[in-house]
Structure 1
Amino acid sequence: AMSDLNLPLIVITAAHGLPDGANKAFGRYFRMVRYEEAVKWPEEERKAVVGVVNFGHFHIDGKFCKKFTSLKVVSNIGVGVDHIDVKDLKEKGIYVGHTPGVLSTTVAEMAFTLMLAAARNLIQADRYCHSDRDVPSSRPTNMFMGQDLYGKAVGIVGMGAIGKEIGVRCKAFGMKIFYHNRKPCTKQEETTAGSAKYCENLSELLKISDFVFLVVPLTKSTRNLISTNEFKAMKTTAHLINVARGGVVDTKALVNALKTKEIASAALDVTEPEPLPLSHELKELPNAILVPHIGSATRECRLRMTYMALDNLRLGLSSNSLIRTPGEIPTESEVEKINARYQERLEAEDHKLT
């Protein structure tokens, strides 16, 4: 959208467009052009671009920045920045912003939804009722037997902001919470996260957990974190829930573990590759629940993410500072403040953006 020509120019990298309400929010302060358009411009015109707003998995690195030589800020709508070469950009003096905190409760709710669906065979039961196999007169009484959440052990791999919110919710359901992190949380944080207990060893956590949640960023050290040995360590009755990144799990090993019933099921918001090709093995498996990376896909959450990305962009351009840069771990009180700020703003702005 070409608006006021005096506004700073930004490029949008988002294969399927920005979240609802974002065009209006950014449009107040910036002229926006889609990446596909901007690339065709002559070099002289591309020099006007000062910022990039990214939504989705568009690869941004030094090579990308050569196309826009006046670039100052890359603002990512989302937490994960495995598609952005942060180090490369920093060396070029370009700020990178992301949006942690504002999606923690939403993604935790999704993780919880996946756990409930897995524990009670919800998806299979729904499919059954929608199919012509469901003959009410001869319906067996012991169909789709699930398991209680109450009293079960939960293993949270990655006790960051999202992990803590998962802990809070599991505690409310009467579950026992264990977690694995590079280093233990403070006693206060453990208490807040549902009286969580630290497991120094990942395999020790996997051995005792009935439900395993993956909530770590994708890095060199977390790629294929869950592979053949890890599935061997898990209970045969355990469920794996991944709301992190597909690459944290070794897909081949996962398919094998599900086929051989080494674990009970997997519920995945993310996969490797993503999206899965049409004929992928995971799609054939009845004990795999698959959803298309919708962990933060609520209206409220996407707006909070949008506002934060907008603030990151404006701050980066005006005062050379950002609310959030990848790699800085926000403290609990910082996360709470960020959350409260954007929740208030959501409630105040809501009527303007619909």
Structure 2
Amino acid sequence: MMKVRMRWIVGLGIGIPILLVLAVLVVLRLMSSSPQLDLSSIEVKELPSAWEQEPPSAEVADHSIEGNSVAAPGVTVAPNMDVPEEAAVEPPTIDTFELPIVGTLVMVNKGKPFGEESFELVLDGDNVMLRSSGRFWFKALIATITLKYNQVLQMDSSLRPVTLSSTFDAPLGFGRETQAKFVDGRAIVRSGDAVTEYPVDLERAFVLGTFSTYAVIPLLYELREFDGEVGLETLVFGGPPNSSDEAGTDGLPETSIARIEDVAIRFDGREMIVAQYEISGSMGTMTLYARGIEMLGLFAGDDEESLFVYRADYFDDGFEIGD
């Protein structure tokens, strides 16, 4: 199961550079089960009161049509009555949404936590900033190995990437810093002494770094007013883009995102309706759970091997998915 778990960790977004992956892989070969660490220092806050109410149905109410006029249910419209045109609705801007979002993620495998990450998604002038710091831990022989990291992702007001900075403090001296900037349809990435440059469509770019970068997805989906399934070019930090593409193309790997039907989650004897986003890419399919623009959790896997990430600042013991 070690190889499967390593695949989840690398593929679902910790963004560790290649040399660091090799170092951690050596450590994991000595690994037994994940150590039980105390997460009691994470402060659990109350859910927003509006979340306790079931959201209105997304279905559009039936309307009666008479002549060229549209009537709301229960309202009679005379055949020749003029109905004023509906006022134009302005598209949303980043100021439309309630930021900041501040939270703490806990990563769980086989019922045991192996990492945590605190993040904040904030407005900073004309930019949106995702700042995060976290740690992963693994038990090797009689010692617990801890990998700490920090990440800052800067985006513009349309959530196009501008810069990314990440630092990983790894054992065995394999720590690494990565810097990236995105300008004029190019991504310029510096990792250690290596500099890589490649083209990218910034309108369709999604930066996949640590797990907190998934928290951008609900906001991006609502801000861009996506409908149905959308494909995004994925910039995975830690390794050259699409280097193993069997088709031999020069394009970036794609991630498809679609909002699917809402679902109930259960926690502490309570139940709440949340949105589901299906995320599909080269690492398989996962499900993101959100309320409004706030990510609440992420699940990937099956009954034998799974990864669960949840907002520990809202759910001290995670949550269950309803039928």
| TM-score greater than 0.5 by the shorter chain | no
The structure with the largest strand share of the pair is 2
The structure with the largest helix share of the pair is 1
Normalised by the length of structure 2, the TM-score is 0.30
